[in-house]
C-alpha cells in the first residue's frame, strides 16, 4: 500500500491555495528540486505555472517554500516508513504461520526479514545522517 502525498496548502490574505506537490499531477506539472542551504538538496517537487512566474523569482519566498517542502517530504517519508514496517511485519507473521514444509517456511521467514524498508532508510539518511546541506 502506497500513500500518495497531497499538495501542500498555504494561506495568504485569507485565501488558501496549493503551493507544491510531491507528485506530478495536474496542475503541478513543472519539476523543481530543493537547493536552499539548510534544506536537504535535490528533493524533487512539482509546481504550477504561476509559481514559476512569482515565487520562483523571489529568493526569500522560494526558501520558505523549500523549507515547507522539506517538512512535507519528511512527513511523507515517515508515513511511508510506517507502512513499509507494517507490511514487513505482516510478511513475517504470515511466514511464521506458514503450514508448508520446514524449508519453505524458513525461506519465507528469511525473505520477510530481508524485506527492505527503503523509505525508512531514506528518512534516516536525509534527516539524521547529515543529509542537511
Provide block-wise average pLDDT over 10 residues at a time, the chain (133 residues): 48 57 89 78 86 84 86 92 97 92 92 94 82 48
So what's the pLDDT on residue 58? 87
Q: Is 120 domain-assigned?
A: yes
For 32-38, the CB contacts below 8 A with 24+ separation are 32/56, 34/66, 34/69, 34/70, 35/66, 36/62, 36/63, 36/66, 36/67, 37/133, 38/67, 38/132, 38/133
pTM here is 0.73
By DSSP bridging, strand 15-20 and strand 30-33 are: unpaired
- Other Cβ atoms within 10 Å of 120 Cβ, number: 17
pLDDT tens-place string over residues 45-72: 898 888 888 888 888 888 888 888 888 8
So what's the pLDDT on residue 66? 86
So what's the pLDDT on residue 1? 42
Range of the domain at 26: 8-127
So what's the pLDDT on residue 85? 97
Q: Is 2 domain-assigned?
A: no
Q: Is 133 domain-assigned?
A: no
Q: Is 1 domain-assigned?
A: no
Rounded to whole angstroms, how far apart are CA atoms 35 and 120?
A: 23
So what's the pLDDT on residue 84? 97
Q: Is 27 domain-assigned?
A: yes
Give which of 63, 70, 16 is closest to 45, Cα–Cα: 70
Please count the structural domains in the chain: 1
Amino acid at each position: 500500500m502506497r500513500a500518495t502525498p497531497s499538495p501542500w496548502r498555504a494561506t495568504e490574505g485569507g485565501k488558501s491555495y496549493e503551493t507544491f506537490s510531491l507528485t506530478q499531477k495536474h496542475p503541478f506539472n513543472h519539476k523543481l528540486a530543493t537547493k536552499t542551504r539548510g534544506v536537504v538538496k535535490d528533493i524533487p517537487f512539482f509546481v504550477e505555472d504561476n509559481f514559476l512566474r512569482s515565487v520562483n523569482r523571489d529568493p526569500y519566498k522560494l526558501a520558505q517554500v523549500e523549507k515547507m517542502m522539506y517538512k512535507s517530504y519528511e512527513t511523507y517519508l515517515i508515513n511511508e516508513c510506517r507502512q513499509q514496517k507494517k507490511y514487513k511485519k505482516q510478511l513475517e507473521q504470515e511466514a511464521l504461520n506458514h503450514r508448508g514444509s520446514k524449508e519453505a517456511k524458513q525461506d519465507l521467514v528469511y525473505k520477510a526479514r530481508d524485506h527492505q524498508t527503503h523509505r525508512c532508510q531514506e528518512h534516516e539518511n536525509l534527516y539524521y545522517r547529515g543529509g542537511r546541506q
